[in-house]
Amino acid sequence: MEKVKLEIVGLSYSQTQSGAYALVLSEVEGNRRLPIIIGGFEAQAIAIELENMTPTRPLTHDLFKNFALEFEIKIKEVIIYNLVEGIFYSKLICEQNGVEKEVDARTSDAIALGVRFKCPVYTYETILGSAGIKLEDGEDLEPPVEAEPAEKKETNKGDLSKLTIKELEAQLEGAVENEDYELASKLRDEINRRTS
């Protein structure tokens, strides 16, 4: 079967499942998207790496990467190879000393590791054909705006707009130290919005 290359185009709070997030992958050469519901911890691990943040202590996926590098194991690619009753199945294609091995993984963990190893993500046409969402010509190709519960959106956005740059920077430092990366991302975005 021919593989289809994917890229991450969005990560947003799931409106259908409490505490879950929608990871949105898009085919590189096409207009179909593949939404995958993942847990909050895995979403945080992916977002931290995509945003080039450095936690004060290694997260589980960082630990795995450090372990793999120590033993000269390289993750070459992630393949989403099956879909059964709404659950995606993935594998990591790893290499050590010229020997290639496949390791079964949850899709969310596979993507979190894949972004750390900067390796490509693939799926098969059959999966994209059955679970992909086709964008119509002219439809917005921008990643989805991160959505939050209404009460959270009002308090966080209102509070941030009232803070000075120095206050935002101090809160950003505190959020990173407390490993509250969702808040850190919002603070960073507010600082960037004002200074650019």
pLDDT digit string (tens) for 150-174?
Answer: 333 333 445 788 888 888 888 877 7
Of residues 58, 52, 24, the one with CA closest to residue 38: 24
Reading the block at residue 126, the tokens are 């059959």
* CATH number of the 3-134 domain: 3.10.690.10
Dihedral angle computed from the Cα positions of residues 144, 183, 19 and 149, in that order, rounded to the nearest 10 degrees: -70
pLDDT digit string (tens) for 3-62?
Answer: 999 999 989 887 667 788 989 999 999 999 999 999 999 999 999 999 999 889 999 999
> What percent of the chain has pLDDT above 70?
83
Alpha carbon distance 153, 75 (integer Å):
37
Alpha carbon distance 17, 185 (integer Å):
22
Alpha carbon distance 196, 151 (integer Å):
28
Sequence ranges of the domains in the chain: 3-134, 150-195
DSSP letter, residue 14: -
